[in-house]
């Protein structure tokens, strides 16, 4: 068997290079010090697998030279510099290393918590740089008996919470996409009421960056917090609205903030740097020797497994070539993932099971449909940590049952896919099909027949079927300056109706509260694709 070639495009820890060079089936080329033009024209054409970091963009120029590459390993979490769609079109698997820096990020979060509580950086600078000994200027606060709100209870958030317990803090977790027992089994409080988080003495956020989480702490949320709250963000830039954060720090509403990540980086001239009640670091979440070693080891091992065709750990795209699928299959996979994502946004609760039912020829691809549905459902909760390769493993780890069914086609459509998502609180079914020219449509939600294009900002309004409801809904949206771009209505035989209203613009809590207050309303939810 001829050796497979792995090209290392950027610097990784020596332990990863040793693992690659020590495998007798691998020819390792370390091109980290080569000029980028040489890397692209001389070495990338030789590669079966490439290992990259932030210094190498996997863009059109890269891919044009990647004649033999079947996989790319991004040695780290972020894949902003990787053209995943371009890779998918060429049948190239993209993998990242999402958990190697977990402990580093956890401990940095604790460092910011302690620094904010004791104002450590300012006391340090006052003594070391200014040579001033003034103990009376640096009264801090203790973590003991303080209430810590943890937003997002995944790998990092859960570990922050358990370590905070060691400081004898009162910890409460908010994560609508986990089973509450994941927190309560660790003797940590769990809430689905976000107001309980806003009432905490200290808040730390550990969510992926999604449409739902971007700016989830803004001016309104800060206004409802305790006076003198401490906020921490070592997760993703933009989860706190930075203007609102700045205003809260200036007013004293927020006593201190510990920030490792910014909306735009590098943030060397950010106005937060001018304040004396902020501790800041330049995105150091993964910057420990141990995490860099772990990243290099995991990236090298993933590259070896991909080169040998053993597996594709942490793949972020589908590990098959598009030309291996019949033309009609891809849009069904897409709409199935969209329906899964919609289901998670509508239900907003811990998932118990996902059932995928296929009718027609598309049933031959039930396994792939189930995978795409699972990715769609779980993306809302865990972001880029879910992918097409690990979807079923992650579901199993979370105790989610995946059920697949192919049934005779009596639907009236040539092909139809239905997903049923069961949570701890409810059950939701969504069915869809694809018409000629790849026109995707949702044709059923629960027992309501509809014709909905799965895109944009959508309000789902379930109500008693009485006169004037549509007008009331329209008035509320108009008063909130939301233009209706599409309105679809489904009715049943029991006197109930479901409207799916697509609007131009983001829907906030105020709009949803006003719709909920309508006498005819049964429930309201909002989703965005």
Q: Which residues form the catalytic set?
A: 236, 265, 283
Q: What are the structure tokens assigned to 478, written together?
A: 């108009």
Tell me if residue 181 falls in helix, strand or coil.
Answer: helix
First to last CA, the chain: 46
Check whether the bond before 9 is cis (ω within 30° of 0): no
Buried b (16+ CB within 10 A) or exposed e, 191-221: beebeebbbbbbbbbbbbbbebbebbbeeeb
Check whether the bond before 266 is cis (ω within 30° of 0): yes
The answer to whether residues 451 and 499 touch, using CB atoms and an 8 Å cutoff, is no
Q: What are the structure tokens assigned to 328, written together?
A: 């009609």
- Burial class (CB within 10 angstroms; exposed 0-12, middle 13-18, buried 19+) of 529: middle
Tell me if residue 501 falls in helix, strand or coil.
Answer: strand
What is the helix (H) or strand (E) element at residue 485, kind and residue range? strand 483-491
The answer to whether residues 317 and 84 touch, using CB atoms and an 8 Å cutoff, is yes
Q: What is the layout of strands, in order, in the sheet containing 278-280?
A: 189-191, 170-174, 147-151, 202-205, 229-233, 254-259, 278-280
How many Cα atoms sit within 13 Å of 259 on the Cβ side?
A: 27
**Nearest-5° Cα angle at 233, 229 to 237:** 130
Tell me if residue 529 falls in helix, strand or coil.
Answer: coil
Residues 6+ apart with CB under 8 A from 145: 168, 169, 170
Q: d(Cα 190, Cα 423) in Å, to the nearest integer?
A: 17
One DSSP character per residue, 70-83 reads: -EEEESSS--TTB-
| Listed residue (264, 263, 258, 262) closest to 278, CA to CA | 258
| Listed residue (153, 121, 156) closest to 140, CA to CA | 121
Please name the residue that has the structure tokens 């779980």: 378
Query: In Å, what is the CA distance from 471 to each residue of 370, 412, 478?
Result: 39, 33, 10
Query: In Å, what is the CA distance from 191 to each residue of 93, 158, 345, 396, 529?
Result: 38, 14, 18, 24, 27
Q: What are the structure tokens assigned to 506, written together?
A: 């983001």
Rounded to 10 degrees, the C-alpha dihedral 503/505/506/512 comes to -40
- φ/ψ of 500, rounded to 5, equals -115, 110
């Amino acid at each position: 068997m001829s050796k497979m070639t792995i090209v290392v495009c950027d610097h990784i820890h020596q332990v990863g290079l040793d693992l690659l060079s020590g495998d007798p089936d691998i020819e390792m080329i370390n091109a980290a010090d080569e000029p980028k033009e040489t890397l692209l024209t001389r070495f990338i054409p030789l590669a079966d697998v490439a290992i990259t970091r932030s210094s190498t963009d996997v863009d059109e120029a890269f891919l044009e030279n990647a004649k033999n590459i079947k996989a790319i390993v991004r040695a780290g979490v972020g894949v902003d510099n990787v053209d995943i769609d371009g890779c998918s079109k060429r049948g190239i698997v993209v993998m990242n290393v999402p958990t190697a820096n977990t402990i580093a990020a956890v401990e940095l979060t604790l460092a910011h918590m302690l620094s904010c509580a004791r104002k450590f950086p300012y006391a340090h600078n006052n003594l070391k740089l200014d040579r001033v000994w003034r103990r009376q200027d640096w009264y801090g606060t203790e973590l003991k008996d303080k209430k810590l709100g943890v937003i997002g209870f995944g790998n990092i958030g859960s570990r922050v919470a358990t370590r905070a317990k060691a400081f004898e803090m009162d910890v409460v977790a908010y994560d609508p996409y986990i089973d509450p027992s994941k927190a309560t089994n660790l003797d940590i409080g769990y809430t689905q009421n976000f107001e309980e988080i806003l009432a905490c003495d200290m808040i730390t956020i550990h969510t992926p960056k999604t449409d739902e989480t971007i700016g989830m702490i803004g001016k309104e949320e800060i206004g409802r917090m305790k006076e003198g709250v401490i906020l921490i963000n070592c997760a993703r830039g933009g989860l706190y609205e930075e203007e609102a954060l700045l205003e809260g720090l200036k007013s004293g509403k927020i006593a201190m903030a510990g920030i490792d990540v910014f909306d735009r980086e590098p943030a060397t001239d950010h106005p937060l740097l001018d304040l004396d009640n902020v501790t800041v670091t330049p995105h150091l979440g993964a910057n420990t020797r141990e995490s860099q070693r772990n990243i290099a080891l995991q990236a090298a091992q993933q590259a070896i497994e991909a080169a040998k065709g053993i597996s594709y750990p942490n793949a972020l795209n589908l590990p098959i070539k598009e030309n291996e699928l019949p033309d009609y299959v891809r849009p069904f996979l897409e709409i199935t993932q969209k329906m899964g994502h919609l289901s998670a946004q509508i239900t907003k609760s811990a998932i118990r099971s996902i059932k995928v039912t296929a009718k027609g020829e598309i049933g031959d691809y039930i396994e792939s449909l189930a995978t795409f549905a699972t990715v769609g459902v779980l993306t809302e909760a865990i972001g880029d940590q879910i992918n097409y390769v690990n979807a079923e493993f992650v579901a199993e780890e979370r105790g989610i049952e995946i059920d697949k069914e192919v049934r005779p086609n009596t639907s009236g459509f040539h092909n139809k896919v239905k997903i049923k998502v069961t949570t701890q609180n409810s059950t939701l079914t969504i069915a869809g099909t694809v018409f000629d020219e790849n026109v995707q449509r949702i044709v059923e939600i629960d027992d309501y027949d509809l014709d909905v294009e799965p895109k944009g900002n959508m309000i789902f309004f379930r109500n008693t079927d009485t006169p004037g409801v549509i007008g009331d809904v329209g008035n509320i949206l108009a008063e909130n300056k939301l233009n209706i771009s599409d309105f679809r209505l489904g009715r049943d035989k029991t006197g109930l109706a479901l409207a799916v209203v697509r609007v131009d613009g983001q829907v906030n809590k105020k709009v949803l509260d006003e719709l909920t207050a309508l006498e005819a309303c049964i429930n309201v939810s909002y989703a965005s694709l």
